[in-house]
Every structure is written in C-alpha cells, then in structure tokens.
Structure 1
Amino acid sequence: MTETWNPTATGVLRLPSGRLVRGRGLRRALPADSSIPTYGVYLLGQRPPEVPWETRWLRWPDFRLPADRAEAHAVLTDAWHRSLTERVEFACGGGRGRTGTALACLAILDGVPPGEAVDYVRARYDRHAVETPWQRRYVRRFGAPSGAVGESGSARPDA
C-alpha cells in the first residue's frame, strides 16, 4: 500500500470520505512541501511531458470539455478508486479550470451532490476552480443518469 498525500500540502483536496487528491498547474514546479504522485491524470490538449510516475493523458483542450466524455468518466472513476491507497494528482496548465472540473467530478463520485460539487471544490481547493459555464454544466451533468450523455460521449442537444 502506498502512502497517500499529506493533507496540509499545497493543492491537496480532502474529499468527504477522507480520500486525498492533489490538483496543480503544470506551468508551476512541483510543490516543495509534497511527495511526488504515484499516479497522475493530465488534462491537456496535447500529450503531457514525460514524468517518472504512472500517468494517464485525458485529451481536454484549455477552457473546454474532455474530447471523449465516456473515457473521461472512466478515467475519473478509476482515479477516484486509486486515490484510496495512492497519491493521485490531477493537473492541467494552470490548475484551475480543467483540474477544478475534474476534482468536482471526483467530489460527486465521493458523494457530494452534483449541484454542490463546484462550490465544494472552490471552498477547499481554489476559489477560481471550474472556470467556464460549460465546465460548471458538465459537473452538474456528471452525476446525471446515463441517459444524459449519448454513446459518443456528447451531451444530448435537449439535455
């Protein structure tokens, strides 16, 4: 079993269950007050740089939504499971929009109601997390019944 994050380290978010995950911006150096991740999920439009830990790239252009929403749901769910025993990190360029959106989705997986997840992450991670109206809408719909997202992963036009 791997040791999880120090709860007082920079960028660490405590979920209601007690699980710890870290968010950060890749344009900044690794926080000096923290361990390195054992698993990183990188939310970028282009392939992330190589790092010495296990990673998953989720294609997610800046200020947008994941390119494949079904894949995003699977990656976020897997990362949530891994966060019980591993140091899981989520990162995008600035660490706010895409990272905050992913963290809000993890909060939903951890039991936070979809309508409260953005506020939860803004209060405990970064007050500017989840930057765009469509990112907020994505979070609210993340916890919706499976009928709200089509097989291709795109939202229904009437949803």
Structure 2
Amino acid sequence: MGDESVWDGQPGVVVLPSGVAVRGRRIADAASPADFALLLAPGSAPAWPHRRIRWPDFWVPVDRADAVDALTEALRRAHGGERVEVACRGGTGRTGTALAALAILDGLPPERAVDWVRATYRPRAVETPWQRRWLRRLT
C-alpha cells in the first residue's frame, strides 16, 4: 500500500515501513502543496488542510493523546494516498521525532526508530533524551 511517487523529487521525503511516503520540513521553507500537514510549532499555516500539535521546541507533545490521534490521522491519510507532511520551526527535533513516531505506528520497532529517522531523514533528528524516551513509550 502507498506510493512514494506522490513525492518524487521532493526534499525531506521518507518512506515508512509500509511503503507510504511522508515529507518532513521546516514550516518557513517554501514547499510544494501537500494534502495534509501536521504542524508542530506556532507560525504561519499552509493553504492546505492541517492540524497543529502543541509541542514545545526540544520537548515532547503537551497532550500525548492528542498527538497520537493527530499522528494516527496523518498515517491514515498517507495510507489513503494523500501527500502528508510534518513540519516544525527547524525541521529536525520535533519533525524528526514525529516522523519516527509515524514509522513506529506503521510497524517499525520503537528501539529502531531513532536510527531509522536519522538514516532516512536527518542525521540529527530526535534531538533530546526525552524525545527518545517518548518514542520508546509510544506504543
């Protein structure tokens, strides 16, 4: 299921374990339109449908249940063929943690998530020990 060609040539695109593609980026960067965005920081919102998670910089989501619900919605949309993106201010810590969480929800073992997102997205993704701990406790 899933078709990574929906994001062909786009920077920040990762392919989750099931084969669906999701894009990570900085909120401020210009980007081609997505069908749905998870925004992890305050700031301008894209013109396309989006959902914002309250997630302080260098920390974890304020409301775990809301974050898991939003991540699950993003994954469902990606599996449905939508172009889904995740974005925060710097595009590394929170975005990397959310991409790793999507991979876990998509079947990747939690203990492999940080190495996976650093290898497929950005080498410094998931910046803090508490972000790593949050991922280990996600499921």
Q: TM-score, normalised by structure 2?
A: 0.91
- 71-80 or 20-29, which deviates more: 20-29
Task: Provide, for residues 11-66 of structure 1, a one-character-per-residue CA deviation record: whole Å limited to 9, x for no partner.
Answer: 00001111000000123332xxxx3111000001x3x3132100101111111110
Matched, 1:112 2:131: no
Deviation, 1:4, is: 6.2
Distance 1:118 1:41 in 2: 19
CA RMSD in angstroms comes to 1.5
Q: Tell me if the contact between 1:103 and 1:121 (Cα under 8 Å) persists in the aligned partners.
A: yes
SS at 1:99 equivalent:
helix
Q: Which is greater in Rg?
A: 1
SS at 1:83 equivalent:
helix
Q: Which amino acid letter does the alignment assign opposite residue 124 of structure 1?
A: T
Matched, 1:72 2:67: yes
Q: Which runs of 4+ in 1 moved over 3 A?
A: none
Distance 1:102 1:79 in 2: 10
SS at 1:13 equivalent:
strand
Match of 1:63 in 2: 58
Aligned length: 135
Distance 1:59 1:4 in 2: 31
Once the two structures are superposed, the pairs formed by residues 94-113 of structure 1 within 5 Å of their partners are 94-113=90-109
Distance 2:17 2:85 in 1: 17
Matched, 1:40 2:41: no
Q: Which amino acid letter does the alignment assign opposite residue 87 of structure 2?
A: A
Q: Tell me if the contact between 2:27 and 2:44 (Cα under 8 Å) persists in the aligned partners.
A: no
Distance 2:44 2:37 in 1: 12
Distance 1:97 1:5 in 2: 25
Task: Provide, for residues 64-108 of structure 1, a one-character-per-residue CA deviation record: whole Å limited to 9, x for no partner.
Answer: 110100100110011101012101010000100000000000000
Query: Comparing both structures, which one devotes a greater share of its residues to helix?
Result: 2
Q: Tell me if the contact between 1:7 and 1:13 (Cα under 8 Å) persists in the aligned partners.
A: no
Q: TM-score, normalised by structure 1?
A: 0.80
Q: Percent identity?
A: 53
Ranges in structure 1 where 5+ consecutive residues have no aligned partner: 144-159
Distance 2:6 2:128 in 1: 28
Match of 1:140 in 2: 136
Q: Tell me if the contact between 1:5 and 1:21 (Cα under 8 Å) persists in the aligned partners.
A: no
Deviation, 1:5, is: 2.9
